């Protein structure tokens, strides 16, 4: 071996890479042959990692981060879409979430309030309009039934019998 840090080929030799640590598995969870089951390695690799959010790092002691109302907007878009207000609310909710992640809390509050407004309008329109339609149908049926009862005398005109006007 060459005493210089460069190897025989003129490249710097890298230190050997340590083998990956093995997952510690309790003896009652070992599989066949004393080997850990495959999911034991996966749980170690996919262990949850905790991160600080942007608002935690920038807003020490300030007001909490604004809500983006994304779930409400998705619900309005998919199930209660009235004049595409749910889709507009979804667009503003996504903008609010993007601004919140990027750290622009003031713009996130602005888009969040717009998303809340459009969500409220879409929900109110989607709940009130079917109720109004049902009320109109019920009142129309009641009016037609009264009209039919009043006009029964018109259609039961008798051609025979005594007329009071002839006497």
Domain count along the chain: 1
CA 40 vs. chain centroid, Å, equals 33
pLDDT of residue 64: 82
Question: Residue 89 falls within a domain, yes or no?
Answer: yes
pLDDT at position 150 = 81
60 close to 86: Cβ distance less than 8 angstroms: no
- Residue 125 within a domain: yes
User: What's the average model confidence in pLDDT over 19-38?
Assistant: 58
Summary count for the chain: helices (H), strands (E): 6, 0
Q: Report in angstroms the alpha-carbon separations of 158 from 148, 151, 155, 162, 165.
A: 19, 15, 9, 10, 14
Residue 24 within any structural domain of the chain: no
- 104-152 residue pLDDT tens: 999 999 999 999 999 999 999 888 988 999 999 999 999 999 888 888 7
Query: Residue 45: inside a domain, yes or no?
Result: no
Q: Does residue 13 lie within any of the structural domains?
A: no
Q: Considering the entire predicted model, what is its pTM?
A: 0.50
Residue 40 lies in a domain: no
Confidence at 18, pLDDT banded by 50, 70, 90: low
Look up the domain containing 131 and give its range.
66-151
CA distances from 10 to 2, 5, 6, 7 (A): 10, 9, 5, 5
Residue with tokens 């002691």: 61
- Residue 149 pLDDT: 84
Q: Does 105 map to a domain? A: yes
The string of pLDDT tens digits covering residues 46-93 is 555 555 455 544 545 567 888 889 999 999 888 767 688 899 999 999
Q: Examine residue 139 and state whether it is found in any structural domain, yes or no.
A: yes
């Amino acid at each position: 071996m060459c005493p210089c840090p460069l190897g025989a080929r003129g490249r710097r030799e890298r230190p050997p890479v340590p083998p990956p640590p093995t997952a510690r598995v309790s003896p009652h969870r070992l599989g066949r042959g004393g080997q850990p089951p495959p999911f034991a390695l996966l749980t170690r690799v996919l262990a949850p990692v905790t991160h600080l959010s942007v608002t935690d790092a920038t807003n020490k002691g300030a007001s909490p981060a604004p809500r983006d109302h994304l779930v409400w907007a998705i619900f309005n878009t998919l199930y209660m879409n009235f004049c595409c207000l749910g889709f507009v609310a979804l667009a503003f909710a996504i903008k609010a979430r993007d601004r919140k992640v990027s750290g622009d809390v003031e713009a996130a509050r602005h888009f969040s309030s717009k998303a809340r407004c459009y969500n409220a309008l879409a929900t109110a329109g989607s709940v009130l309009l079917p109720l109004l339609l049902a009320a109109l149908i019920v009142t129309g049926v009641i009016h037609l039934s009264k009209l039919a009862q009043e006009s029964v005398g018109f259609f039961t005109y008798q051609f025979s019998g005594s007329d009071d006007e002839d006497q």
